């Protein structure tokens, strides 16, 4: 027993020495040694070193000897040392070509961890789609389709591959837009949160909210918003019924575009196949079935196929070929469980499986092949599978009427809302889809409800550190 303990001490000492000897020329060899002798801590240390020096390690001849499972672990890391995803793609294909017959079956698995949608469109067409190695691997085709949809739909696809790494110039953030705070005070600010870097960015306030004559300021509440081509569109609202603006993150400015034909509030927007849609809502007299389509190229709105049932305060999301309208209020008192689906270009909406709870004052987001719905009187998050036309309960949330939801950095963020005492909520909840865990992410400067929340790619500047729940 003593000899065994002495041997283990020697092993630990050797592992400690090797961990301090990691450099560009030795890190792959040390990792392989740790792997073959099951030295877990040394292997982890070597992988961390490779992650931190990836852009230099890939230039070493030994990189081609990196074990497949270690390469896969490295590619999954958000903190990978890579200024652009093109470098990561080229490293993977070079590794595969080193032993092509043996490694080609691993190509699709490895590329599933490369942020392919973030490649420059011209590079994707010229270097990726035209690559014979890629063309010969049918398992890669779904990844190629995801990239095409990402670019064709204005970055409307959200998956683990659309999340920028820490080293990238862009950061995936989510915005909390306008709404209503305590004592019915209207919020004119936009809060921009970067969960990966745990920072808050300053962005432009909502349009026409800083006039010298306060009576001319707009009150942005019960409007609708959506992201399209990495710009945020907002439309309608009780005080802004016909207005439509878009926010450009690069300019940090709001730009007014063509007004809605039908003024509305308590409606929703969706982006699909190069157009932005304004759906349903309320005009002060009746619930609307009206649907308008915005063509950004011609800057004009057109009336299209109306909803089967006019509703307000519903949830909406686009998925694949369809736009979904979920629940809502057909009048001022009732809520419905109906789910309406439309394929743009067709002349009718069809009914799908009803949501388990009749509900209104909800919001939805499409993420990883499902549509997630929160808010209203559900006290929970529900998930709809468009492919199986079925619903499932995801997690209990408590009372959060008129909250918002956004998908960002491969997680879902539920913001604000009102509790059962009609008090505004200031917490941001985070649902980790992979781990199926709900946590309190941070606390907003003030509670808010009836707001919007969308995801955006934005050049990042660290302005404020987010206050985590554990720090308060």
pLDDT of residue 38: 81
Q: Where are the beta strands (DSSP E) in 203-306?
A: 224-228, 231-235, 244-248, 253-256, 268-272, 275-279, 291-295, 300-304
Residue 107 · residue 95 · CB < 8 Å: no
pLDDT of residue 398: 85
Distance CA(141)–CA(200), nearest Å, equals 37
Strand partners, 317: 324
Domains of the chain: 1-162 (1.25.40.420), 170-459 (2.120.10.80)
Distance CA(242)–CA(259), nearest Å, equals 5
Distance CA(472)–CA(442), nearest Å, equals 9
pLDDT of residue 463: 42
pLDDT of residue 212: 62
Contacts 24+ apart (CB under 8 A), 146-151: 146/116, 146/117, 147/116, 147/117, 147/119, 150/117, 151/117, 151/121, 151/124
- Per-residue pLDDT tens, the chain, 472 aa: give them: 433 334 456 666 677 777 777 888 888 888 888 888 888 888 889 899 999 999 999 999 889 999 999 999 999 998 899 888 999 999 999 999 999 999 999 999 999 999 999 898 889 999 999 999 999 999 999 999 999 888 876 666 777 888 888 777 678 899 999 999 887 788 899 999 988 878 888 889 999 887 766 667 778 889 999 999 889 999 999 989 999 999 998 888 999 999 999 999 999 999 998 899 999 999 999 999 999 999 998 999 999 999 999 999 999 999 999 999 999 998 878 899 999 999 999 999 999 999 999 999 999 999 989 999 999 988 999 999 999 999 999 999 988 989 999 999 889 999 999 998 889 999 999 999 999 999 999 999 899 999 999 998 877 544 444 455 544 4
Number of H helices, E strands in the chain: 11, 25
Distance CA(458)–CA(192), nearest Å, equals 10
Distance CA(13)–CA(7), nearest Å, equals 10
For the record, the structure tokens of 212 come out as 């010298």
Give the single-character DSSP code of 418: B
How far, rounded to the nearest angstrom, does the alpha carbon of residue 108 sit from its chain's CA centroid?
A: 23
| Continuous segment of H or E residues that includes residue 19 | helix 2-19
pLDDT of residue 190: 94
pLDDT of residue 154: 64
Phi, psi of 58 (to 5 degrees): -65, -15
Judged by DSSP in three states, 200 sits in: strand
For the record, the structure tokens of 358 come out as 């009749």
Residue 141 · residue 129 · CB < 8 Å: no
Distance CA(14)–CA(260), nearest Å, equals 71
Longest dimension (CA), the chain: 87
Give one word for 90, left, alpha or beta, with left for phi > 0 and alpha for psi -120 to 50.
alpha
pLDDT of residue 214: 66
| Continuous segment of H or E residues that includes residue 151 | helix 141-152
pLDDT of residue 199: 84
For the record, the structure tokens of 273 come out as 């196949």
Distance CA(186)–CA(161), nearest Å, equals 36
Cα dihedral 122, 127, 131, 135 in deg (nearest 10): -30
């Amino acid at each position: 027993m003593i000899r065994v303990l002495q041997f283990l001490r020697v092993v630990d000492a050797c592992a400690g020495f090797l961990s301090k000897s990691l450099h560009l020329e030795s890190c792959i060899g040390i990792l392989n040694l740790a792997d073959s002798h099951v030295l877990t801590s040394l292997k982890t240390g070597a992988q961390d070193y490779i992650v931190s020096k990836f852009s230099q390690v890939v230039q070493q001849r030994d990189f081609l000897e990196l074990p497949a499972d270690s390469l896969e672990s490295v590619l999954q890391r958000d903190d990978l040392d890579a200024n652009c995803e093109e470098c990561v793609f080229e490293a993977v294909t070079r590794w595969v070509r080193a032993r092509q017959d043996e490694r080609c079956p691993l190509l699709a698995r490895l590329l599933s961890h490369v942020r392919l949608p973030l490649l420059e469109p011209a590079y994707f067409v010229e270097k990726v789609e035209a690559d014979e190695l890629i063309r010969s691997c049918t398992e890669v085709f779904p990844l190629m389709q995801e990239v095409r949809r990402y670019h064709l739909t204005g970055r409307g696809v959200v998956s683990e591959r659309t999340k920028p790494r820490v080293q990238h110039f862009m950061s995936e953030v989510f915005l909390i837009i306008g709404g209503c705070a305590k004592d019915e005070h209207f919020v004119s600010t936009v809060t921009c949160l970067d969960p990966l870097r745990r920072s808050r960015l300053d962005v432009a306030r909502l349009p026409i909210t800083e006039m010298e004559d306060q009576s001319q300021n707009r009150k942005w509440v019960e409007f609708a918003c959506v992201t399209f081509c990495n710009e945020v569109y907002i439309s309608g609202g009780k005080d802004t019924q016909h207005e439509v603006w878009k926010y450009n993150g690069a300019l940090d400015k709001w730009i007014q575009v063509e007004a809605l034909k039908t003024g509305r509030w308590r409606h929703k927007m969706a982006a699909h196949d190069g157009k932005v849609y304004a759906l349903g809502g309320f005009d002060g007299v009746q619930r609307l079935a009206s649907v308008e389509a915005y063509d950004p190229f011609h800057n004009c709105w057109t009336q299209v196929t109306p909803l089967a049932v006019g509703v307000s305060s519903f949830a909406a999301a686009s998925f694949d070929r369809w736009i979904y309208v979920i629940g809502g209020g057909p009048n001022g008192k009732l809520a419905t469980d109906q789910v309406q689906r439309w394929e743009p270009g067709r002349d009718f909406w069809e009914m799908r499986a009803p949501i388990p709870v009749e509900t209104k004052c909800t919001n939805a987001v499409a993420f990883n092949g499902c549509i997630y719905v929160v808010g209203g009187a559900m006290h929970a998050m529900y998930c709809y599978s468009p492919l199986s036309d079925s619903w499932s309960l995801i997690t209990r949330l408590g009372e959060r009427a008129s909250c918002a939801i956004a998908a960002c950095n491969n997680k879902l963020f539920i913001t604000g809302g009102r509790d059962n005492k009609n008090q505004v909520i200031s917490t941001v909840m985070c649902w980790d889809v992979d781990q199926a865990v709900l946590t309190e992410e941070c606390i907003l400067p003030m509670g808010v409800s009836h707001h919007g929340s969308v995801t955006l790619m934005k050049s990042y500047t660290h302005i404020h550190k987010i206050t985590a729940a554990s720090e308060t």
